[in-house]
Structure 1
Amino acid sequence: MDEVEVVVAHSQRATLRVGDVFLKVDADQTRVDVEVEAMSLAPVPTPEVLWRKPPVLATAALPGTTLGRLGGPATGSPEAWAAAGAAIRKLHDAPLPPWPGRAGRSVDALAQELADECEALVRNGVLPARLVARNRRVAEAALRPWTAAFTHGDLQIAHVFVDGDEVTGIIDWSEAGQGDPLYDLAAFVLGHEEHLDDVAAGYGSDVDLDVIHAWSSLRSLLAVRPLIEQGFDPFAPGCEVDVLKSRM
């Protein structure tokens, strides 16, 4: 093998691809513990764990391709998007894992985090005050009681693989745990909400579109500054800032 592909890299973790093997390097072993256990419990296809030697976790590559990525074009038939929705529903209907997840932060904690982050975005001149205020109002619809489900916690479009109209696997489970199922749906269609109807058709009932839009705004508001700090560009076309602008 003469090439190592850097899939993602920042100060918290890095993922490399070497042939058909993915190597995730994570200094936080708690996240790796969660990832391995979540994959063993999830009732959907997940990567095979080849070996684990802290701080490295090695998993096999999945067949198929993703439906796209944030900031890039989306692909796949309506049936493929619906199949993804059905797989997400299967996960959410599974028995709860015994730990809280990223999508399960308390309403009070989220409200405080949202308030603090909105204030920081405006104070530091990262985003216009009007844009922040509008999306904060949208985001507040997510701050309500929910029935906890088995959630992935970081179900961005690049983490779901399909082959034709079949889901072949879901990767990156380090944020999994008990949480709001609509958070997962919002993360999956972030930047590609034109496919939300297809995903909802596969997912079935209990899809509140206003709450999904709220989670998209909330997730984007909370992500902008951390992404910049990690060397990513939330201002790139189709990414978080464009999601926020679409609410205006």
Structure 2
Amino acid sequence: MTGVDEVEVVVAHDERATLRVGDVFLKIDSDQARIDVEVEAMGLAPIPTPRVLWRKPPVLALAAVPGTALGRLGEPSPASPAAWAAAGAAVRRLHDAPLPPWPGRSLDELASRLDGECGWLVTNGVLGKDVVTRNREVAEAALRPWQPVFVHGDLQITHVFVDDDVVTGVIDWSEAARGDALFDLAVLTLGHEEHLDDVLAGYGTDADRDVIRGWWSWRSLVAARWLIEHGFDPSQPGCEFDVLKSRM
């Protein structure tokens, strides 16, 4: 990494930070178990992932993946329908892979987290009670038994890179586990509902859209406090609060 002109702070908060130094990403994480999951998941996933260069706790060094992200939440995606379909096909390969050896969150855990975050949003006046109540009702559709698959667990569009309508890499695997396939599809299309048909075309099968809408609401409700407490703004146009208000 000699001759690098600058260090770019990609993201930084009190749990972890990611720096870019040339073509190398340095992930500094206070939770080594989270890094353990990330490294093992990337080794198991049957789709392109970043190459691990070295690891010296608390730092993990990863090679940059080629291409550009599908887009950003709150902004129109520059990617073509074919690129979104390619993302759907990559997700299907992941979901068809053998399960990782560690479990995911249980249905009871997910329901309990929803209860707690909805209570916090109302008690602190962050969102109107009517918006929270309505989205909690929508989220209930997602909280049902499912057949577990290998999920990425945090499949935001900023984590999927494409080049010439081909997926070149999927990053940030610290939430990978056994889980609901429709959760991954929902997180991928959160705030970009117009691309759900493209993703499902690549995924190769239709899906219960009420469940996907449920996960859109669940994700937006439970993420709000974390985002606010870590310096992010879910009230920006096109982001989590707009997703919740669109269900009204």
Bin of the TM-score, shorter chain as denominator length: over 0.9
Deviation, 1:206, is 5.0
What fraction of aligned residue pairs are identical, expressed as a percent? Answer: 73
2: CA distance, partners of 1:108 / 1:40: 29
Q: Deviations over 1:102-144 (max 9, x none)?
A: xxx2222222221221111111101000000110000000010
- Structure 2 unaligned residues grouped into runs of 5+: none
Deviation, 1:73, is 2.1
Aligned to 2:172: 172
Aligned to 1:21: 24
**2:67 aligns with one of 42, 64, 77:** 64
**1:97 aligns with one of 86, 97, 100:** 100
Figure out how many residues of one structure are paired with residues of the other and give that number. 245
2: CA distance, partners of 1:93 / 1:134: 34
**Contact in 2 for aligned 1:151/1:179 (Cα 8 Å):** yes
1: CA distance, partners of 2:206 / 2:176: 21
**Is 1:30 paired with 2:33?**
yes
Residue 118 of structure 2 aligns with an amino acid whose one-letter code is C
Aligned to 1:134: 134
Deviation, 1:93, is 0.3
**Contact in 1 for aligned 2:68/2:161 (Cα 8 Å):** yes
Aligned to 2:111: 111
Does the residue aligned with 1:94 lie in a helix, a strand or coil?
coil
Deviation, 1:164, is 1.2
**Contact in 1 for aligned 2:52/2:62 (Cα 8 Å):** yes
Q: Deviations over 1:169-192 (max 9, x none)?
A: 100001101111111111111111
**Contact in 2 for aligned 1:34/1:173 (Cα 8 Å):** yes
2: CA distance, partners of 1:148 / 1:81: 24
2: CA distance, partners of 1:206 / 1:18: 41
- Structure 1 unaligned residues grouped into runs of 5+: none
Runs of 4+, deviation exceeding 6 Å:
none
Residue 106 of structure 1 aligns with an amino acid whose one-letter code is S
2: CA distance, partners of 1:75 / 1:129: 35
2: CA distance, partners of 1:181 / 1:98: 17
**1:53 aligns with one of 40, 48, 56:** 56
Residue 192 of structure 1 aligns with an amino acid whose one-letter code is H
* TM, length-normalised to structure 2: 0.97
Does the residue aligned with 1:244 lie in a helix, a strand or coil?
helix
Aligned to 1:204: 204
Residue 201 of structure 2 aligns with an amino acid whose one-letter code is A
